[in-house]
Structure 1
């Protein structure tokens, strides 16, 4: 049985931003184990880190795969609108420079820096400059499952939802393919944030025993993951029996309280969402992007 949505009533709005400059946060930083490092971090055009790659092992922290985009505007609400309206899986088009007309895919939002993460093929990345601009067809906020009003959807293009492979069970619960299931104790930076329609929160991966026990060492950019006992319906908080589903959007970090970032896509209480482990639960496989581009 297919899951009915209200996608025919959603509003599509164009929002435009440009490449966010790469950041240096400090001359040196100190990790959770006392290690001192000076690594690349957020922003810029990242050529060799892509959807489908592991989020671990890079000489970098909070790395954003592909293009990091932002909107600088005197009106902060307009800046927030750029993030809010752009949803996972939306089409993005280059509207300036040598790569003008090229099309890519929105991956997700990175909170704190307020970046939108965009995937483009290699030949497009090679033609982009840090002055280029991008037009996103923002489509997805307000999406609902018509027969399941107790499931809250955010930041999700209806086309991704349709292709994801969710399955409605006879008992009314919904099975959701995910690549990993995260225990409630392993969520850090971003907990308590009111808005789940912008930004992300981090999966803590400093406890290596916990990482191995739950298979978190397999996390890839673009993976769909489930967080147990986390309620993201109206903000990010602990609630027994809740399940939140999201997408991994940035790399691991040595910083205490930080780790691979996850943007919220859906949340529900009472065991309504049933995560099912699936190696193919990745945006790149659905969209044919990143490391999953067809040869």
Structure 2
């Protein structure tokens, strides 16, 4: 039976702490000087990428079909100090509330919906389209971070990663032969897990490879939406992301598709287990926009 709000956790023991960043400006590396990147077939391209305020892409929109390279929906924030930015990226949890502290949208409330990994290391925050229209690059956003240290007390083999108690409480779940399973919009086979493998699973993201459009269509992965919950099969994300037969990771589609080889929609992992202790079942429409009742 699918249930909500019945999972035993250590939530009462968690520490809630503030972390903050500024709306990040989109950027390109200084070298090489040309801004072009290469698509999977070797074709140079120049498209919008991560960072900034994205006015017309939001959680709940399609993850595919945009003229973009792994764009973040809503706004992307970071801290100019690398050590503090690492703290922001690790401690901010999906489902945490965010508040704009400066600028024309000061006081507006939003929610953490994802993270991006190596080379960008930004936290992705949903804000209403109305609020985004009043915001500017450099505005400060404060996050009430709660979730680091969260555990499933009856399923300690499942490692939770950057998920807030608020989100965990509304996920569809059920018990299956002594282990816990969560509802997802899709299952992704291990051979489609790409960029991000080998990197730390504390903050950041891992990507679904999208070069093979035929297999995406066959598995209906090209119908994914930003904010969908998905399961990565045979993927162990306890410490670093990697292949392990029988392991499973569950995450959120945090960024759009892109044309580079090894890349595609970015996934922010929220839980994982190494040997069958974590299950998943198809629950079409399992998306942050509905689960957390996000303002459009």
Please state which band the TM-score falls in when normalised by the shorter chain. over 0.9
Instruction: Give the Cα separation in 1 of the matches to 2:166 and 2:68.
Output: 32
Partner of 2:222: 217
TM-score under structure 2 length normalisation: 0.94
2:259 match: 254
1:123 positional shift: 1.3
- Alignment coverage as a number of residue pairs: 287
Preserved contact between residue 19 and residue 142 of structure 2 (Cα < 8 Å)? yes
Question: Structure 1 length normalisation: TM-score?
Answer: 0.94
Contact 1:184 1:230 (8 Å CA) reproduced: yes
Q: Deviations over 1:190-216 (max 9, x none)?
A: 1001x2121001100111221122221
Structure 2 residue 239 is matched with structure 1 residue 234 = yes
In the TM superposition, residue 69 of structure 1 has moved relative to its aligned partner by: 0.5
Measure how far apart 1:271 and its partner are. 2.0
Residue in structure 1 matched with residue 287 of structure 2 by the alignment: 282
Aligned residues: CA RMSD: 1.3
Alignment-derived partner of residue 111 in structure 1: 117
Query: Whole-Å Cα distance in 2 between the matches of residues 284 and 197 of structure 1?
Result: 24
Which runs of 5 or more residues in structure 2 are unaligned? none
For 1:244 and 1:284, how far apart are their aligned partners in 2?
A: 21
Provide the residue aligned with 1:93 in structure 2.
99
2:181 and 2:278 in contact (8 A); partners too = yes
1:55 lines up with 2:63 in the alignment = yes
Is 2:54 the partner of 1:77? no
- 1:79-122 CA distance string (max 9 Å, x none): 20011110000000001112111110001110120111010111
Corresponding residue number in structure 2 for 1:183? 189
**Equivalent position SS for 1:185:** helix
Query: After the TM superposition, which segments of 4 or more aligned residues of structure 1 sit over 6 Å from their partners?
Result: none
Matched, 1:46 2:54: yes
Match of 1:20 in 2: 24
Counterpart contact for 1:24–1:41, Cα < 8 Å: no
**Residue pair 1:66, 1:120 contacting (<8 A) in 2 also:** yes
Which residue of 2 is the match for residue 243 of structure 1? 248
CA distance in 1, matches of 2:89, 2:14: 17
Task: Report the equivalent of 1:3.
Answer: 7
Alignment of 1:146-225 (within 5 A): 146-169=153-176, 171-193=177-199, 195-225=200-230
Question: How many Å separate the matches in 2 of 1:90 and 1:251?
Answer: 21
Of the three residues 97, 103, 127, the one matched with 1:120 is: 127
Note the alpha carbon deviations across 1:145-180, whole angstroms, 9 max, x for none: 0011011101000010001121223x2121211111
CA distance in structure 2 between the aligned counterparts of 1:264 and 1:271, rounded to whole angstroms: 17
Cα deviation for residue 272 of structure 1 reads: 2.0
Quote the Cα distance in structure 2 between the aligned partners of 1:216 and 1:124: 31
Structure 1: distance between partners of 2:43 and 2:216:
20
Pair 1:34-2:34 in alignment: no
1:224/1:248 contact within 8 Å kept: yes
Distance 2:179 2:218 in 1: 26
Tell me how far 1:34 sits from its aligned partner.
Answer: 2.7
**Contact 2:162-2:270 within 8 A present in 1 as well:** yes
